[in-house]
Chain A
């Protein structure tokens, strides 16, 4: 089955800096890659996703890049703000299978 590795497990940045979280996946047939943000006391919320037919997608301060050859994808957050502090999860999915999640990255943005 699919295996998703996520790094780092914890990331501390200063407000205004950029943050990058990386994930690798094992199944070359995976074609859907969502990112979720989980704030304290809440369930994970989808923030951006990318499909295998594109290499990059951007939504304001958030972007995701996908390298199918290397089987990795990354989340980029620019101009970080304290409210970006949360746990971020990547996930991968092949066709009609269910999502496989990474272990999560705790992002801490200091004012």
Chain B
């Protein structure tokens, strides 16, 4: 275990559903990340939060809405997704990402399937 947990581990949803992914870290970190992992593609960084403030949004469609209520919890709210959004969604945490060596620790991911 890396100290980063994600729920649910698997999620199947229709295009009109609304669901949320949850991430929790027990490492005392202050930075949290959402990544999308699709087959045959590099890990795609979606969002970065430092000390609960969003510091990076990599042109992610508005149907993905992150929320970071505190440094230990991170959510990804999903609504009106498309089938091409099916992927493994990974959460990671680190010391503040403005450090030159922010080793990131990943959770196990949520396997999302959009029908």
Contact = CB atoms under 8 A, between A and B. Distances in A.
Interface string B89-103: 010100001111111
A103 B42 CA distance: 4
A42 B107 CA distance: 8
B56 A98 contact: yes
A106 to B, nearest CB: 11
Interface in A25-52: 31-32, 34, 36, 41-46, 49, 51
Nearest to A89: B43
B16 interface: no
A111 interface: no
A43 B6 CA distance: 10
Contacts of B40: 103
Please classify how large the interface on chain A is, using the bins under 10, 10 to 19, 20 to 34, 35 or more. Answer: 20 to 34
A58 B82 CA distance: 44
Nearest to A95: B100
Given A42-B108, A43-B107, A43-B109, A103 B41 contact: yes
Interface string B72-113: 000000000000000000101000011111111111110000
Contact of A34 (B6, B33, B103, B109): B103
Contacts of B45: 98-99
A39 to B, nearest CB: 10
